[in-house]
Amino acid sequence: NKKDIATITNTNHIIKKYNFHLKKSFGQNFLVDLNILKNIVSSADITEETGVIEIGPGIGALTEQLAKKAKKVVAYEIDQRLIPILDETLQPYNNIIIINEDILKANVNKMIEEEFNGYEDIAVVANLPYYITTPILMGLIEKNLPINRYCVMMQKEVAKRLSGGPNTKEYNSLTIAVNYYTIPKIVLTVPKTVFIPKPNVDSAVVRLDKREEPAVKVNDESFFFKVVRGSFIQRRKTIYNNLKQSLKGVLTTDDIKTALKAVDIKENARGESLTIEQFAKLSNEFIKYVT
Ligand code: SAM
């Protein structure tokens, strides 16, 4: 459609009309490819029952495609300069709410209660500001909000991290944290050429489906994540050496050795070789020694 925001001509026209200077520090790279946008929306399985939360609408390229399929779209945009622009570009749609707020500071729970009351299907769909991909995702996922799935574009390297398994070079504590709460899958890889301006890195769209129950059973969630993070503090070090340092004052070196042995993990193994199940076992074992 000629009128869609996400063409090169229309995007350039809007930027020029408002004399808008894109801010690198806000991660502003606008999508100008309708096919990719439609692909994102269809990968997210948006229906007329779905309430969508968008992060960073920019000039509204994705927001518009979402509004055509969803019941309602609530979009958080930090950059105040974009608000009057969005007012105009999204004027034809009556199911969009723009909130001029930093997503990292927003009370999303309260917003969901107010805007998505009675909705049975809520999805987050976004072309994320890449500089804060991890805090945005972890912030939302950990809060246990009634969000069924996420379909979000991010840097390809981070996407591989989320979806990678043990013994891959991207596997780390973020992989474990995301997999604890969700099932992640790369649904689309996206070249640099479909953005204005072109980013330095390739991108990918990841769909994360929230699990009904966490992937593993742990006796103490925050301790589990402490063990996971503590096992990756220095990638080339063994799990024993990393944990000796990160659990200092919590467990003695003898306890760490005994627990590793009890769950069949070698002292010289590396964090990147452990499955999420092994981390769960280890953390449940460690708990026995914590006084
Ligand atoms: N959705 C648009 C698109 O696909 O063309 C723009 C995506 S652009 C990669 C990221 C957007 O997130 C920008 O509009 C930026 O201003 C916004 N943003 C950056 N940090 C934010 C934050 N902390 N909270 C909300 N929005 C933010």
CA of 211 to the centre of ligand 1 (A): 27
- What does the pLDDT read at residue 182? 97
Rounded mean pLDDT, 240-250: 96
- What does the pLDDT read at residue 86? 98
- What does the pLDDT read at residue 291? 75
Q: How many CB atoms lie within 10 A of CB 282?
A: 24
Atom of ligand 1 nearest to the CA of 54: 1
**What's the pTM value of the predicted model, to 2 decimals?**
0.94
CA of 134 to the centre of ligand 1 (A): 14
**205 DSSP 8-state letter:** E
Band (pLDDT 50/70/90 cuts) for residue 60 is very high
Averaged pLDDT score across all residues of the chain: 96
> pLDDT digit string (tens) for 111-146?
999 999 999 999 999 999 999 999 999 999 999 899
Report the C-alpha gap between 286 and 226 in whole angstroms: 11
- What does the pLDDT read at residue 144? 85
> pLDDT digit string (tens) for 201-243?
999 999 999 999 999 999 999 999 999 999 999 988 999 999 9
Sole residue written with tokens 């467990």: 251
Report the C-alpha gap between 79 and 277 in whole angstroms: 42
Pick the residue whose CA is nearest to atom 8 on ligand 1: 28
77 in a known ligand binding site: yes
220 in a known ligand binding site: no
* Percentage above 90 pLDDT, the chain: 96
Q: Residues enclosing ligand 1, CB less than 6 A?
A: 26-31, 55-58, 61-62, 76-79, 102-104, 127, 129, 132
Res. 32: pLDDT tops 80:
yes
- What does the pLDDT read at residue 238? 96
- What does the pLDDT read at residue 290? 87
Res. 2: pLDDT tops 70:
no
Rounded mean pLDDT, 5-32: 97
Triad 271, 273, 274: Cα angle to 5°: 75
CA of 119 to the centre of ligand 1 (A): 25
Band (pLDDT 50/70/90 cuts) for residue 72 is very high
127 in a known ligand binding site: yes
Band (pLDDT 50/70/90 cuts) for residue 1 is low
148 in a known ligand binding site: no
Report the C-alpha gap between 270 and 27 in whole angstroms: 34
Rounded mean pLDDT, 93-107: 98
Q: Which of 164, 18, 147 is nearest to 84 (CA)?
A: 18
Report the C-alpha gap between 291 and 128 in whole angstroms: 42
> pLDDT digit string (tens) for 148-167?
999 999 999 999 999 999 99
